[in-house]
Amino acid sequence: MSPAVPLQLTRFTATSCLGSGLASSRAALEQQRSGLAPCRFESARLDTYIGEVPGVDDVKLPSRLQRFDCRNNRLALLGLQQDNFEAAVRTSAARWGHRRVGVFLGTSTSGILSTEIAFRRLDPVTGALPGDFHYLGSHNSFSLVDFVRRYLELEGPAGTVCTACSSSAKVFATAQRLIALDLIDAALVGGVDSLCLTTLYGFHSLQLTSAAPCRPFDAARDGLSIGEAAAYALLERVPGSNAEPDSIRLLGVGESSDAYHMSSPHPEGTGARSAMQAALTAAHATPAEIDYINLHGTGTPSNDSAEDRAVTALFGAATPCSSTKGATGHALGAAGALEAVLCALTLQSGLMPGGLNTRQQDPRLKVNYLTANRRAPVRRVLSNSFGFGGANCALLFGRAA
């Protein structure tokens, strides 16, 4: 259910392999620069490309929150510190009250990297985990939200949404409902997911990683490139007066389940299609009103084929669309929020980013896939996120004016 309450993204920010904060993300998109590089992460020995955020290891958590120290929460903090985002949240909490600001973030693996490393350091006699391992601090999926709430001193309703690669898209739906019901006045939503061995080796085991930088919608696409990101938005009601004319609005959220397979999309993209349709319905929008679609576009043969069918069935083959994963990699549980922020940039600038690495569009795929940047007035955009377990979510954003 997606209630019709107009919400604005009062502030938003993204940190990915394109750089920390909006300015570097914007510059990379304008220059068509990819952040993907050969995998040299930790002890991984895999022939694949990844989108690693530079400088995560140098981030220091406040000493009172040391128990939360792990790569994922360092990335979470790095992301909060960009674009005056932290200050905007603190201002919102001061205005509405700390109990009136919710925190809903998506992640797929939280701080599992710390657990993976701790399992190499089990006590040789007892088999126990090392004493510096903190289950609730890093391992549990709630660690991310717990850390962010405590760091920002927020006390409203909160939770981690864990629906794999649609996690940080679905947080918008949860927050929208609680604001509509007046349980909260504002919500910090977003996603943080960081590189770890579970996903690198896991996607490799499914033969879903490419040995080259991912090429969404290419005839020769052969898998994804794993990335990492922290992306956030501060959601608040659109003020009755003094509404900013160029503010970015959340107009609709659509969700569905595939009910098909744990790790493959429905080949006809029926679940993807119904999520997109639900987002349109919630926003009272028609397919023709959508100026650009940020595709899930992972670069796996099955995802892009199913998504192409879903998009063309609903929109035809004219709507400009692209996947930004050739630039950022697939940030998994943070992908929904990262791409929501990139969509907000598109709405602001009119720059529809051309998908990178795609040399020849698969002739069987019929969408209007952009490989070069295009500039045009953009008023409504859709962003797709589809996860393992068949968890689909589509977000519809627009400009106020």
Q: Which residues are catalytic?
A: 165, 296, 330
Binding residue for another protein, selected from 2, 13, 82, 383, defined by CB under 8 A: 2
**Residue 212: CB minimum distance to another protein, A:** 21
Report the alpha-carbon distance of residue 33 to residue 348 in Å, rounded: 20
Going by C-beta distance under 8 Å and a sequence separation of 6 or more, which residues neighbour residue 245? 400, 401
CB 225 within 8 A of CB 213: yes
Asked if residue 151 binds another protein (CB under 8 A), the reply is no
In the window 196-215, what residues touch another protein (CB under 8 A)?
197-198, 201-203, 205-206
Binding segment (CB under 8 A) for another protein, from list 9-17, 116-124, 220-228, 239-247: 116-124
Q: Which is nearer to another protein, 3 or 350 (CB)?
A: 3
DSSP 32: T
**Smallest Cα–Cα separation from 144: which of 206, 213, 90, 194?**
194
- Contact status, residue 259 vs residue 374, Cβ threshold 8 Å: no
Q: Which stretch binds another protein (CB under 8 A): 80-88, 111-119, 218-226, 346-354?
A: 111-119
Cβ neighbors of 198 (< 8 A, separation 6 or more) are 109, 112, 116
Q: Which residues between 223 and 262 bind another protein (CB under 8 A)?
A: 255-262
399 binds another protein (CB under 8 A): no
Query: Nearer Cβ to another protein, position 40 or 120?
Result: 120
Distance of CA 172 to the CA centre of its chain: 11
Structure tokens that stand for 327 in this block: 């630039």
Q: Is 301 in the site for another protein (CB under 8 A)?
A: no
Taking CA atoms, 201 is separated from 103, 215, 317, in Å, by 31, 20, 36
| Of residues 180 and 400, the one with the C-beta less far from another protein | 180
- Minimum Å distance from CB 103 to another protein? 10
Min CB(375)–another protein separation in Å:
35
Site string for another protein, 68-107 (x = CB under 8 A): -------------------------------x--------
CB of 353 to another protein, least distance (A): 28
119 vs 220, beta carbon nearer another protein: 119
Answer for which of 162, 276, 344, 395 binds another protein (CB under 8 A) is 162
Q: Which stretch binds another protein (CB under 8 A): 18-26, 89-97, 110-118, 352-360?
A: 110-118
Is residue 34 helix, strand or coil?
A: coil
Looking at the Cβ atoms of 30 and 222, the one nearer to another protein is 222
The verdict on 219 binding another protein (CB under 8 A) reads no
d(CA 353, CA 336): 16
- Does 195 engage in binding with another protein (CB under 8 A)? no
Question: Which residue of 67, 96, 97, 133 would you call a contact of another protein, by CB under 8 A?
Answer: 133
AA identity, residue 231: A
Closest of 205, 202, 233 to residue 113, by C-alpha: 202
Both tokens of 360, joined, read: 């020849």
In whole angstroms, give the CA distance from residue 384 to residue 394: 5
Q: 56 is written with which tokens?
A: 């995560």
Rounded to whole angstroms, the Cα distance separating 187 from 11 reads 11
Under the criterion CB under 8 A, does residue 375 sit at the interface with another protein? no
Between CA 379 and CA 246 the distance in angstroms is 10
Which of 24, 96, 142, 373 forms a contact with another protein (CB under 8 A)?
142
Least Å from the CB of residue 347 to another protein? 25
For β-strands 292-294 and 101-106, DSSP reports them as unpaired
Determine which residue in the list 24, 32, 263, 277 makes contact with another protein, applying CB under 8 A: 263
- Helix ranges (H only) for 21-152 are 22-30, 71-80, 85-96, 112-118, 143-152
Query: Residue 209 pairs with which residues in a beta bridge?
Result: 224
Catalog residues that contact another protein under the rule CB under 8 A. 1-3, 99, 108, 112, 115-116, 119-120, 122, 127-129, 133-136, 139-143, 145-146, 149, 155, 157-164, 170, 173-174, 177-178, 180-183, 197-198, 201-203, 205-206, 255-263, 270-271, 274, 387-391
